[in-house]
């Protein structure tokens, strides 16, 4: 079985997580959700906020026709 080579420190620093624009920064906010929606999201366990961001991103991209920047 072939082993996967270790990544260099430079490769790890430049790695991207997900398919988002790395120039976008996260914004902390407070949002009110219906209890059943919140319970459903929390049911995903750790990372439910990332899941919510992904859901909203899919909707945003669909409405923008796939464009990521405000134009």
Q: With CA atoms as reference, report the closest residue to 18 among 28, 10, 9, 26.
A: 26
Q: Give the pLDDT score at 10.
A: 78
Take residue 30 and report the two structure tokens written for it: 């407070």
Q: So what's the pLDDT on residue 68? A: 63
Its pTM stands at 0.57
Residue 68 class from Cβ within 10 Å (0-12 exposed, 13-18 middle, 19+ buried)?
middle
pLDDT by residue for the chain (71 residues), tens only, comes to 678 888 788 777 766 555 556 567 788 899 999 999 999 999 989 989 989 999 999 999 999 887 666 54
Q: CA–CA separation, 64 vs 70, rounded Å?
A: 9
The domain segmentation of the chain, as residue ranges, is 22-71
Rounded to 10°, the helix 35-42/48-64 angle is 110
pLDDT of residue 27: 86
């Amino acid at each position: 079985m072939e082993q996967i080579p270790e990544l260099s420190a430079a490769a790890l620093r430049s790695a991207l997580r997900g398919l988002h624009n790395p120039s976008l920064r996260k914004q902390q906010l407070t949002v009110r959700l219906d209890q059943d929606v919140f319970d459903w999201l929390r049911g995903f366990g750790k990372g439910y906020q990332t899941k919510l961001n992904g859901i909203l991103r899919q909707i945003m991209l669909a409405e923008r026709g796939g464009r990521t920047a405000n134009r």
